[in-house]
Amino acid sequence: MSKAAGETLTGNLAGLAPSELKALERIYRRRVAPTEVVSPELAGYMAELSATLHRQVGVLIDRRGAITEVMVGDASKITLPDVGRLRGAAGRFRGIRLVHTHLRNEPLTRDDLTDLALLRLDLVAAITVDTGGRAGRLFIGHLEPDGPADRPWRELPAEPASAPRTDFAQLIASLEAEYGRGRRLAATDQGKDRALLVHVALGGGAADDARIAELRELCRTAGVRVLDTMTQRRPQPDPRWLVGQGKLEQICLRAMQLGAELVVFDQDLTPGQARAISDATELKVLDRTMLILDIFAQHARSRDGKLQVELAQLRYALPRLIEKNTMMSRLTGGIGGRGPGETKLELNRRRARDRITILERRLAELARDRRLRRQRRTGRDVPIVAIVGYTNAGKSTLLNALTDGDARAENKLFATLDPISRRLRFPREREVVMTDTVGFIRDLPAELKAAFAATLEEMADADLLIHVVDASDPDRDRHIATVEALLTELGLAERRRLLAWNKCDRLRGGDADHLALHGGGFVVSALDRATFGPLLLAIEQALWQEGKAPEILDYDGVATAASPTA
């Protein structure tokens, strides 16, 4: 009788006689009733074979009771084959259960429970084998919907393998119903990805609450609903998964409990880490850089900005393009997928490289055009003032208030990506060009700096920088340090600049007064023009009266907005 397609043996087959291989293959002919974890007959046959071979014997059984895989291990463990082709939807049970033998009369091992968690098996069962080669006890473990993070499974009391008591069909139906609650919640989040956030505190230090809060804001801006945040303290990153294997199991199970399909890491991942995490969890995986690039793709309005973002995405994606991976190879829309489009292995790697070359050429042409426009603008001897600062500090709102402008201003990170310029008219027929620039953020990767090209050019040409700080942010000192470090890196450390403490309306009166006296800048609220006087006087002195005492001028006149200037 010929062997049916798919009836192959995997694992430790070396040294087995042809008759022993045929005995193993005959396991495929057996079926298990839908209510049984394993039939007494199959348990007895596997125990007898295991004792003869002195090796563990295992099977994968589907919901219909058919044997889909037969595996052979050594005396202490068994290795599962790649079950990728048996994948279900992310966050669901896989639809198969693992039943295998234990030669040492032991219950479920940590390896058994790890396979249960990471592979989202329906359950895992171990049959003990006595000295006579007979099936002894049956140990069963399954995932627990409300189990603790460090032990997200339940082990049932042992039962005789010759007369199992557990009703598998009833058990799996109950578990599916429990886990289905998270999926029903997911159905209410129309158009939003549901995500877990992961932050690793390296060096063994405490979790950085400010970084976690910033990551949550990035997710909100990108249209991602955050379901939970998971943290881990490590002396150094795990080279394979960034987090440890135990934490990875918790991520996988928590995603299943909550119906998450996306995991977002605060730290940037290497291509190998992204691939390993995606393969282990079968979740879509993003790191901080990819999340920011996705926000850039949503907010870019100009041709220049869109091309810059696409180029940055392609450069970041290129080393991550692989065949079986949900981080970058499945760019089919949604979070992390706006921009370059779907890509597949070598053919599309070549296409990506070709596209990068085309984009670089187009952007070089646009850079020349921008340079000519700036030369014409500077030739008219109109001073340029660039508004800089950390993202979401209120720069666009301040520009609108100063110039009666209509620049896009939202309570989101990176709401402004393309530089926006408006004219601000001072008394005595003097005017300046005020330019709003994209906000900075800590740990800005090289791929993101490239997408700032137009903004960086505007800052380099500015006669004066206004550094806007969200005075109400508890992390404002670190934001200032980030911006100052980036300005230094860009060669702008010596450029004249003024410090504007924005959002003073959110401060208590004493705090605002303290900043005004000791903050070394100007306390303003972009929502209240009455606070602008000292800042406008300082701008005028810096541009036209440097070295002179400032004149007291009336700034109640109308500031007019001209057409956008590039």
The pLDDT, as a whole number, for residue 88 is 52
pTM above 0.75, yes or no: no
- CA–CA gap between residue 127 and residue 48 (Å, rounded): 11
CB atoms within 10 A of CB 440: 22
Q: Longest Cα pair distance anywhere in the chain, in angstroms?
A: 105
Between 348 and 117, the higher pLDDT residue: 117
Q: pLDDT per residue over 397-430, tens digit each? A: 999 899 887 766 666 677 666 677 888 888 777 8
427 or 361, which is more confident: 361
Closest CA to 326 of 279, 293, 292: 279
User: Does pLDDT of 323 surpass 50?
Assistant: no
**Percent residues over pLDDT 70 in the chain:** 82
402: enclosing H helix or E strand: helix 395-403
Q: Where residue 501 falls among pLDDT bands split at 50, 70, 90?
A: very high
Residue for token digits 């950085």?
208
Q: Domain locations in the chain? A: 9-183, 187-297, 382-544
The answer to whether residues 390 and 441 touch, using CB atoms and an 8 Å cutoff, is yes
**Which residues lie closer than 8 Å to 145 by C-beta, 6 or more apart?**
175, 178, 179, 181, 257
**pLDDT at site 365:** 85
> How much is the mean pLDDT over the chain?
82
Q: Distance between CA atoms of 397 and 412, rounded to whole angstroms?
A: 12
Q: Which helix (H) or strand (E) holds 60?
A: strand 57-62
- Return the CATH fold of 187-297: Rossmann fold (3.40.50)
- In this prediction, residue 58 has a pLDDT band, given cuts at 50, 70 and 90, of very high
pLDDT at 557 over 60: no
The pLDDT tens digits of the residues spanning 239-256 come to 999 999 889 988 988 888
Closest by Cα among 502, 441, 452 to 211: 441
> pLDDT tens across 200-235, in order?
998 766 668 889 999 999 999 899 999 999 999 899
- The better pLDDT of the pair 97, 187 is held by 97
* Half-sphere exposure of residue 21: CA atoms within 13 angstroms, side-chain side: 13
Q: Where are the beta strands (DSSP E) in 366-485?
A: 384-389, 420-426, 430-436, 464-470
Tell me which of 162-171, 336-345, 396-405, 440-449 is least confident: 336-345
More confident residue, 516 or 160: 160
Amino acid at 434: M
Q: What is the CATH number of domain 382-544?
A: 3.40.50.300
